[in-house]
Amino acid sequence: MNATMLMQTIASGLVMGLIYMLIALGVTLLFGIMRVVNFVHGELVMLSAFAVYFMTTAAGLPFFVALALAAVASSVVAVFCQYALFSPLQYDILNCFIVGIGASFAIRSASWAIFGPEPIAIASTLPGVLNIGGVFIAKQRLLAAVLCAGLAILLAVFLRYTRHGKAMRAVEQDREAALLMGVNPTSVYVTAFVISAVLAAVGGAMLGTLFGVDPEMGAEPILKSFIIVQIGGMGSLLGTVIAGLFIGLTDSITGTLLGGELAFIFDFSILMLILIVRPRGLFGYDA
Amino acid sequence: MLIDRRKATMLIGGIAGTLVTGRASAANKEILIGGSVPLSGPGAAIGITAQRTFQHAVELINAEGIEVGGDRYTLKANFYDNKYVPAEAVTVVEKLLADGTRFLFSLGSGNSVPVVAKTTAAKCLQMSMASGKSHLTSPEFPLSFRVQPTNETAWAVYPWLKTARPNVKKIGHMNPSDEAGFTESDDRTMIAEKNGFTNIAKEFFKRGSTDFYPVATRLVAANPDLIDLGGTIGRDQALGCKALRELGYKGEIMLGYSDARSFIEVAGASAAEGTILFDTLAEPQNQKQKDLVDWWIKTYGPPFPSFACTVWDAPFVLAEAIRKAQSADPVQIAKVMTGMEWDGLFGKSRFGMKSVYGIDTTITRPIPMAVVKGGKPVQLDIVPWPANV
Amino acid sequence: MNRFALPALIVALMGLPLIVHDAYFLHVMVVIGINVVMAVSLWLLGITGLISFGQAGFMFIGAMTTALLTKNLHWSFWIALPLSAAISGLVAAPVGRLSLRVKGVYFFLVTLAFGQVVVGVFAYFENPFGGWYGIRNIPPPQPAVLFGTLDKRAFYYLSLGLVLVTCWIIYRVSRSWFGDVLWSIREGDVLASSIGMDVPGSKLIAFIVSAFFAGAAGSLYASYFGYISPLVFTFEYSVNILVFVVVGGFASMAGPIVGAVVLTTVPELFRVTGKYQTMAFGLILVFSMLAMPQGIIGAWQRFTDRRAGRPIERQSEG
């Protein structure tokens, strides 16, 4: 592997890492705040992608308008899931996991039945490829990377400097104390679901332009999200960001160097290692 | 309503009863065909297409009926979802056999290979659309027929490549890392070599991957004149092609089993430009093909999945063989089908390839070649099947 | 339950193939048997409060061992079966020791990773593990005349036998003094250690035993289906087993059994719906979680409590 190939691999890896990171942020938010492992998150990614696809093709809406509408729709679905599925189970971690799996199977199957089998893709908003000294970066990928990074920063700002954000962090760190301080848990939970839904929508739209739209598209991101969130530390924003980039890079490097199959083993071996050496992840709180 | 031992036994009996009864028994004049196809999960795309096409063909056949002796037979096809998982495929076949089905239509080598020993033992005629070699096609399995030329298309395509793209000398291969992918890779590299090409790269990826950059980077670095995406289907091939182009690959790309329009949409028109599509019908060339396209668009709306063309012949061939054998017995029918010739959707077709597999149970037919020009598939050639294979 | 209900049930199960010859039915029963063994073994671990997603990995190890021993070395299945279980248990020892260092909710992720690593390793090395191709033509148990391709009855009895042995052993374990340790661990690690129970040691033993039986189930799978591949022993399969246990209920061993039986049978009933089968499964899952968070046996317990006029236990968090 020469220098150009290495640069190419790194560039590709960072971009992918950012996209997975965005989706993982949604997962970490929900877990940090209410200890819910939201399996339906992957389907929100998928449904948003379909929504954007149909709105840009059938309804002819411009991409970012479609994206905004999809984000709204995604939030509605997420809050619906919250009240229909997770809340009745009192956010019990195992039960929510199972019900999330059931719901995700059902949604996926329904999508197959409704949307039919043909692979489709959302048209690129920014076609063309940049060539920087032998390293190729598709412009659409760059756009996705910038968007994901931007949203992550926005989220960080929101959590650190706004009232709502601080309330969320308070609940995350110590629920009882937050309640004693007068924080309204319901509004915090709903906000968390909405934010994660919006992140999922953007992630889905990006994935849809880069990799096409199909009912199974949520499966891999959600699995990767779990790995990322675990390595970074459940509930830690910074951890998720770093872990996301790390996973993106690792995937890319092992995939290019060793071939796709070994990369698969590698990911999980690293996860196991980190979990054994430092169970709470890089930046996580103690369980 | 207390659940006690009586109720428990009734419960078991009830479950047992439901599993055992309530299925259509083989009626006198009805021939049951079982369909084992993926209707959910990856592969659902082709599974659903296969089901719809097969059922329509059966409708047309039944309109005339099949004369055997003095009786008029009709076909009945029951499709089950094997989810592209081998254990499910086995369960599906168990159910079908228990239902009295003696004819199986199976899609996907992961689903077809594990059951062929069983169908052979149960004297059930199996028609598979799958990549496969001697573990599916061999004198050991006289009732197993391959109704789709998969890895075999290379026998026709590589000779054509020599004349159509004379500047191509070095070939790179990209295939999924599973049963079908390995078969394709083995066969294609062997056939390419036989035709005087040099194989300089052989890469595999996990089927259903999202990011093809790693595998594409490796291929591009080897710098072949043509990259054969032989065993890839659906989204995988579109994304693979897109990744290759985005990484600056300027050579030829060849693939098949695709729905051309879908491929172009997912890969993007600029990445898809110039891709050679084997066994792909860009435009209907004869009336039969036109009828098929028109029917699909009328029933399901556009776009028309070209995969339907590959499925079309299977039920007709079966009906023809039943007529010729004048029997509903799979063993008799199989004897007739071996080496049988017929007029198929693509022209004169035949079950052959004895020289490769030892038995004439693999379909051979003309292979349509297309190329992507200006964001649309354009017909290039119809390659006849090589005479010596 | 009535004292004679269980023996009557067992007798009924043993007599079933004599009445029902339907090959598909027997096939489903064999599959149910394998699922029950997996579910019960997961349950043993679950009563300590540990949820493992690696059961499919141990099952794969067991299946692979049997495949290699019977196919390549031509050993008898009857030797391969206990060996496979033993090897799974052996592998579980170091894995368990390492995984158990991780607390609570993180444990499930380590086991998930382990399951994937097993798949990855077997998938990568085509020789001798078959790679993604898997291993085909695994010979059935001897005597071959009994375990033929078309006759399912012998396999049915084999599966039934394995189920009975597994259930009996695990039941005894869960009822023994060791079982009491496991239950109390679930209530609280700290409390259990404070009264002198060896918490980590007990968890490890539970982990090993559970892997042992998963390996046995894998061995049966290999010689029944004759074909194993990494596509079978996936994360999804581990999730399926967990679902059997959760939907069935944790409170007693009847839970995983009921869960496995119901959730294997019901999708089969829905098979005729074709492409809606998976959707039906998902909806049933959602419904049963919402309506019966304590599992089927939990709901049944509440029902019988109500009927008998006993006070109903409040449905608290699991």
Crossing angle, helix B179-194 and helix B153-164, to 10 degrees?
40
Q: Which chains touch A (3 or more CB pairs under 8 A)?
A: B, C
- How far apart CA B204 and CA B175 sit, in angstroms, is 5
Architecture of the domain spanning B26-151+286-367: 3-Layer(aba) Sandwich (3.40)
Find which of C277, C286, C290, C296 to mutate to test the A interface (most A CBs within 10 Å of its CB): C286
Nearest in space to A110 (alpha carbons), one of A55, A54, A59, A43: A43
- Residue B199 · residue B235 · CB < 8 Å: no
- How far apart CA C288 and CA C262 sit, in angstroms, is 12
C-chain residues within 8 Å CB-CB of B17?
Answer: none
- What does B1-12 look like in DSSP terms, one character per residue? ----HHHHHHHH
Q: What is the pLDDT of residues B320-368, one digit of tens each?
A: 999 999 988 999 999 999 989 988 888 889 998 888 888 889 999 998 8
Radius of gyration of chain C (CA): 20
One-letter identity of residue B131: S
C-chain residues within 8 Å CB-CB of B44?
Answer: 275
Q: How far apart are the first and last CA of chain A?
A: 42
Assigned token pair, A84:
């229909």
Q: What is the pLDDT of residues C117-146, one digit of tens each?
A: 888 888 777 777 777 667 777 777 777 666
Contacts 24+ apart (CB under 8 A), C7-14: C8/B5, C8/B9, C9/B5, C9/B8, C9/B9, C9/B12, C10/C164, C12/B9, C12/B12, C13/B12, C13/C160, C14/C157, C14/C160
- How far apart CA B55 and CA B77 sit, in angstroms, is 7
Nearest in space to A5 (alpha carbons), one of B232, B254, B209, B223: B223
- Answer whether B26-151+286-367 and B153-284+372-383 agree in fold: yes
Nearest in space to A285 (alpha carbons), one of A35, A26, A91: A35
Assigned token pair, B110:
């992961």
For residue A249, what is the nearest residue in chain B, using CA coordinates?
B214
Q: Which chains touch C (3 or more CB pairs under 8 A)?
A: A, B
Sign of CA dihedral A169, A175, A180, A182: positive
Which of A127-136, B190-199, C192-201, C252-261 is least confident?
C192-201
What's the pLDDT score for residue B190? 92
Q: What is the pLDDT of residues A177-205, one digit of tens each?
A: 777 877 887 888 898 899 999 999 999 99
User: Domain-by-domain residue ranges, chain C?
Assistant: 22-234
- How far apart CA A151 and CA A221 sit, in angstroms, is 18
**Please, how many CA atoms are within 13 Å of residue A53, restricted to the half-sphere of its CB?**
23
Contacts 24+ apart (CB under 8 A), C198-203: C200/C100, C202/C48, C202/C178, C203/C48, C203/C50, C203/C96, C203/C100
**Length of chain C, please?**
318
Assign B42 a pLDDT band (cuts: 50, 70, 90): low
- Residue A40 · residue A104 · CB < 8 Å: yes
- Residue A119 · residue A57 · CB < 8 Å: no
Nearest in space to C45 (alpha carbons), one of C237, C242, C188, C240: C242
Q: Which residues pair with B126 in a beta bridge?
A: B104, B144
Q: Does B100 touch chain C (CB under 8 A)?
A: no
User: Domain-by-domain residue ranges, chain B?
Assistant: 26-151+286-367, 153-284+372-383
Nearest in space to A165 (alpha carbons), one of A129, A192, A126, A128: A192
- The yes-or-no verdict on residue B171 having pLDDT over 90 is yes
Q: Which chains touch B (3 or more CB pairs under 8 A)?
A: A, C
Sheet holding B170-176, edge to edge: B198-205, B170-176, B226-228, B252-256, B276-278, B367-373, B376-383
- Residue C58 · residue C174 · CB < 8 Å: no
Assigned token pair, C229:
């591949």
What's the pLDDT score for residue B8? 44
Element (DSSP H or E) covering residue C187? helix C177-187
Distances (CA, A) of B358 to B138, B353, C44: 6, 7, 53
**Please, how many CA atoms are within 13 Å of residue A31, restricted to the half-sphere of its CB?**
29
Give the mean pLDDT of chain B: 84
Assign A285 a pLDDT band (cuts: 50, 70, 90): low
**Length of chain A, please?**
287
**Residue C111 to chain B, least CA–CA distance (Å):** 22
CB contact under 8 Å between C286 and A102, yes or no, is yes
Q: Is B71 helix (H, G, I), strand (E, B) or coil?
A: strand
CATH code reported for the domain at B153-284+372-383: 3.40.50.2300
- Proportion of chain B above pLDDT 90, given as a percent: 31
Give the mean pLDDT of chain C: 79
Assign C315 a pLDDT band (cuts: 50, 70, 90): very low
Q: What is the pLDDT of residues C275-292, one digit of tens each?
A: 666 777 778 778 877 887
Phi, psi of B104 (to 5 degrees): -125, 135
Contacts with C, A 83-102, CB within 8 Å? 84-85, 88-90, 92-95, 98-99, 101-102
- The yes-or-no verdict on residue B20 having pLDDT over 60 is no
One-letter identity of residue B80: Y
Residue B130 region by backbone torsions, left for phi larger than 0, else alpha for psi between -120 and 50, else beta: beta
Q: What is the pLDDT of residues B237-249, one digit of tens each?
A: 888 999 999 888 9
- How far apart CA A49 and CA A122 sit, in angstroms, is 8
Give residue for tokens 């693939």: B255
- Residue C59 · residue C38 · CB < 8 Å: yes
Which of A21-30, B367-376, C299-308 is least confident?
C299-308
Find which of B39, B210, B306 to mutate to test the A interface (most A CBs within 10 Å of its CB): B210
Assign B143 a pLDDT band (cuts: 50, 70, 90): very high
Residue contacts between A and B (CB atoms, under 8 Å) = 111
Q: What is the longest distance spanned by two Cα atoms in chain A?
A: 59
CB contact under 8 Å between A119 and B45, yes or no, is yes
Phi, psi of C228 (to 5 degrees): -130, 150
Assign A260 a pLDDT band (cuts: 50, 70, 90): low
Q: Is B241 helix (H, G, I), strand (E, B) or coil?
A: helix
Give the mean pLDDT of chain A: 84
ipTM: 0.78
- How far apart CA C215 and CA C161 sit, in angstroms, is 15
- The yes-or-no verdict on residue B37 having pLDDT over 60 is yes
